[in-house]
Structure 1
Amino acid sequence: MSLLFEPLSIRGITARNRLWVAPMCQYSAVDGVPQEWHHTHLAQFASGGAGIVIAEATAVTPEGRISPEDTGLWNDAQRDAWSPIVAAVHARGALAGVQLAHAGRKASTWSPLTGRRGSVPHDRGGWTTVAPSAVAFDGFADPVALDAPGIERIVSAFADAAVRAVVAGFDVLEVHAAHGYLLHQFLSPLSNRRDDEYGGELEGRARLLLRVVTAIRDAAPDTAVFVRFSATDWADGGLTVDEVATVAAWAAERGADLFDISSGGLVAHQSITVGPGYQVPLAAHVRRTTGALVNAVGMIDDAAEAEAVLADGAADAVMAGREWLRDPHYALRAAWELGHDIDYWPAQYVRARPHARS
């Protein structure tokens, strides 16, 4: 019996398996509105057997977009455009999630599809970015430090976006506190130089994230809430996995259901040695320390490797990104490779099922 294909229940929902699609930015929205590309992109993974399909980092304010081409949930037009996409994922048997995000000082940047790097000038559609402190990411424009009213607007924007996401039909709300974006910027001492209640020791640096989790839980009391963390900055003096485990425990007390453990992205001088499953030990540490549900992510591109992550007790589920792009039917393939029979092959594709009669 494959652990990877055991269902997992979380706050009233049940994922049909534990091989999920990580959020991956497509840089293809118009005014924050997802397009036909997003519909096809996300629905194909559900056809391919994913347990949960999580949509890309979706900004809670216009200024929270990584690029002008990012998706959003700050208005009802965006909500209504997401609704049929969510329905398509559901129709194919998967749960649908969305990653609620604010890019902070890493906002207003050129989409990688343009081949450019750095901040978009104001006269080309860019905007002034915000951050915990007026400290720029290397090569990007200087941000403005958020004041108290600005912080209140951020918390409200996450809650409002959560309500829109629930109306659109999403089953999972993932709070993006990783990869150097705003909530991660507050968590790390490398980017948070504040001397007020949102800075200093870990409790202060975690305050905004915890307020966001609380606001989302209050706005969506019955919906599963995940938090994606960068468990280390891979840089001296940065956020550590022990600190992240502590913050995760605090977030669980405020209603977070699962922690999605990634790493890095805060500073350009990070030093990472990557390889298959290189972030799995970080997930294992958070799971062991908190006792909470955790998923692992990062170069877990092989069915046997994914199964081993669960068998070793390192995580409760596995997310993948690039492997789903290479093979949108990763879960169907993985079930066959692990010798596990599943009953959710699309009827239209059964003729291609291994050992099926033609």
Structure 2
Amino acid sequence: MLFEPYKIGNLPLKNRLVMLPTVTNLARDGFVSDREIAYYDRRSRDVSLVIVGASYVNKLGKFFVNQLGIDDDEKIAGLARLAQVIHKNGAKAGIQLAMHNPKYNPVDFSKEQVRGFVEDFARAAARAKEAGFDLVELHFAHGWFVNQFLSPDVNRRTDEYGGSFEGRTRFALEILQTVKAEVPDIAVLCRINGDDFTPGGFSIEESVKFAKMLEQSGTDGLNVSAGVGATSEYHISPMGIEDRPLVKYAGRIKGSVKIPVIAADKLGEASDWEKILKDGTADFIGIARGLIGDPDCVAKIREGRTEDIRYCIHCNQACIAYILKGMPVSCMINPEVGRESEFEVKAEKPLNIAVIGGGPAGMAAAAYLARKGHRVELFEKGEKLGGQINVASIPPCKKEIGRVVEYLKKDLERYGVRVHLNTNITPAGMEAMDFDRVIIATGSVPAKLDMAMYAAPCQAVDVLEGHVPEGKNILVIGGGLTGLETAEFLAQRGKDVTVLEMQEDVAAGVFPMVKKLLLKRLKELHVNVVTKAKIDRMVRKKLSYTVDGVEKLLEFDDVVLAVGNKPDETFAKLKGHEKYTFVGDCNVVATAVEAIRNGAEISLKI
């Protein structure tokens, strides 16, 4: 059914696959940029409908730094270019109209201002039509401005825009009705929450009632999501959430209306998508992060090459996290995102290049250099490729990240990289290698604790690889992501675990959604997490530490160190030589996202 035609309103669609809206931060002062055009050009070739990401209808409702705007007529020309490139590729063009400003609540505005916002949506819809879009989607979900009016735990108004269910839905219904009157000849979708997943928030029962009201008010279809800012794991679900978390909500809503319903969020693989349609749970499959990671995923399904799909690993480290930081959208498994044209350049003079190290940075460097036309050989001292990603995929809820290694392996094969495993290259041996350029990607090594230890402690990486301490009471020193994941790994194996972290908080730099879910699981496993812990001394199997000036004593059976990593310096003396380029953690310790992007970007310079 995935490739059967269908309709939303009077809009004919060639298949059941829709590119869902995501903010890209590729706009410039709200105007469409060339990078935005290239981004949608790359992703509009196989889906039936592209819904351009949340575009603010007024300045008050602009949330992201480089978010796209549809708030004034000067932006119409750029939006028209965007619609044209989508149409050129055979897809219908939609755009999401939105407002979001967390500084304000529904009670902060007069009735006249609220009605003015309704008109802002209508004027934005008129601009979308003038720019050539076939459809507009009204953003009523995710704790954004309109969703705040819907939610009983947020909307404290006592006038006709608050209080009862009818009052809380009035703003959304007025927007829909006014937009339909303004653009009666293009399709209108509404994106709604199946559930807010907040105490006292908008529930599935209210959502079903709301869906019926939207249908009666003229919406041509519903795009079902869930969650608000505090519960965003339900609309951009990470690894820690099971697949298809919202399908049952889409099904409940579809069962209550006669208009098409789009399913969304972590929908699994192609076979799952087909089943969702066959079961009648939804009429369309919505893809967002999946098309960021693999713009060709729909073509691969159509051509029967599902084994080649690079499914999203739901790490959220470079799509959602980057956008929230004001950075352009990116992707761990696809560092080309938003820079598509940069990576199309071929080498004018192919070189013989060696890559030392088969971790993520080395694999990415080798693959992208070979794709550019260079002759590349990769040398890895271990028996397998992947480096620390192999370890990162071991903790609970992290299995998906292991796909990164498989994707990179396929790239090495596709572009003809010669791989040498179990090959340890020494500094002396490197200088004797006959290559035009050498890329050094030897990664990092665990840091050590600068204090006297009772005995050699375990390193977190060794524990995750299967060397589990025999003792019952385990002390993990270090409350970063690795330390906390190792604590969870041990607790699941029946250990009593205490984590000591010297900073005021744990999981520094970890995406808040991931941190929230991880800490919740640790609490359920009764892992004791101690912050602001200054370690004083360790004698045999007792450790003395201080918290806010109060000395405490902790007894343990085994110690696991997770105090971070430092660059591997095996080849440090070669830094600065033009023949050698250092990438990844052996240069600067960072995340897998940065390592892969750093490796890929080498191809832009050589």
- Do the aligned partners of 1:179 and 1:265 also contact (CA within 8 Å) in 2? yes
Q: Deviations over 1:302-330 (max 9, x none)?
A: 11111111011100001011111111012
Residue 133 of structure 2, aligned match among 170, 175, 195: 170
The 5 A counterparts of 1:198-237 are 198-237=161-200
- Do the aligned partners of 2:247 and 2:264 also contact (CA within 8 Å) in 1? yes
Match of 1:44 in 2: 42
Match of 1:22 in 2: 20
Secondary structure of the residue aligned to 2:76 is helix
- Percent of aligned pairs sharing the same letter: 30
- Do the aligned partners of 1:179 and 1:264 also contact (CA within 8 Å) in 2? yes
Residue 337 of structure 1, aligned match among 298, 304, 311: 304
Match of 1:63 in 2: 60
- In 1, the alpha carbon distance for the partners of 2:43 and 2:17 equals 11
- Do the aligned partners of 1:301 and 1:320 also contact (CA within 8 Å) in 2? no
Give TM-score scaled by structure 2 length. 0.48
Match of 2:438 in 1: none
Match of 1:343 in 2: none
Q: Deviations over 1:85-142 (max 9, x none)?
A: 110110110001100000132xxxxxxxxxxxxxxxxxxxxxxx43313xxxxxxxxx
Q: Deviations over 1:5-58 (max 9, x none)?
A: 1111223221111111110101122221121111111121122x0110110000
User: Is the aligned partner of 1:311 residue 2:285?
Assistant: no
| Change in 2 beyond 3 A, CA 1:53/1:270 | closer
Output the amino acid matched with 2:208.
A
- In 2, the alpha carbon distance for the partners of 1:222 and 1:131 equals 33
Secondary structure of the residue aligned to 1:20 is strand
Output the amino acid matched with 1:5.
F
Give TM-score scaled by structure 1 length. 0.81
Structure showing greater relative contact order (alpha-carbon pairs closer than 8 Å, 6 or more residues apart): 1
- Number of residue pairs aligned between Structure 1 and Structure 2: 302
Report the alpha carbon displacement of residue 261 of structure 1 after superposing the two structures with TM: 0.3
Q: Which has the larger radius of gyration?
A: 2
- In 1, the alpha carbon distance for the partners of 2:5 and 2:232 equals 40
Report the alpha carbon displacement of residue 77 of structure 1 after superposing the two structures with TM: 1.7
- Do the aligned partners of 1:303 and 1:338 also contact (CA within 8 Å) in 2? no
| Change in 2 beyond 3 A, CA 1:331/1:269 | closer
User: Is the aligned partner of 1:93 residue 2:60?
Assistant: no
Report the alpha carbon displacement of residue 180 of structure 1 after superposing the two structures with TM: 0.7
Match of 1:5 in 2: 3
- In 2, the alpha carbon distance for the partners of 1:266 and 1:177 equals 13
Identify the range of structure 1 (22-31 vs 269-278) with the bigger mean alpha-carbon deviation: 269-278
Report the alpha carbon displacement of residue 266 of structure 1 after superposing the two structures with TM: 4.3
Q: Show structure 1 runs of 4+ deviating over 4 A.
A: 268-273
User: Is the aligned partner of 1:248 residue 2:211?
Assistant: yes
Residue 257 of structure 1, aligned match among 201, 215, 220: 220
Output the amino acid matched with 1:169.
G
Match of 1:327 in 2: 294
Gaps of 5+ in 2: 307-606
Match of 1:33 in 2: 31
User: Is the aligned partner of 1:290 residue 2:257?
Assistant: yes
- In 1, the alpha carbon distance for the partners of 2:25 and 2:305 equals 34
Output the amino acid matched with 1:200.
G
Match of 2:105 in 1: 131
Report the alpha carbon displacement of residue 68 of structure 1 after superposing the two structures with TM: 3.1
Secondary structure of the residue aligned to 2:50 is strand
- In 2, the alpha carbon distance for the partners of 1:165 and 1:234 equals 32
- Do the aligned partners of 2:197 and 2:231 also contact (CA within 8 Å) in 1? no
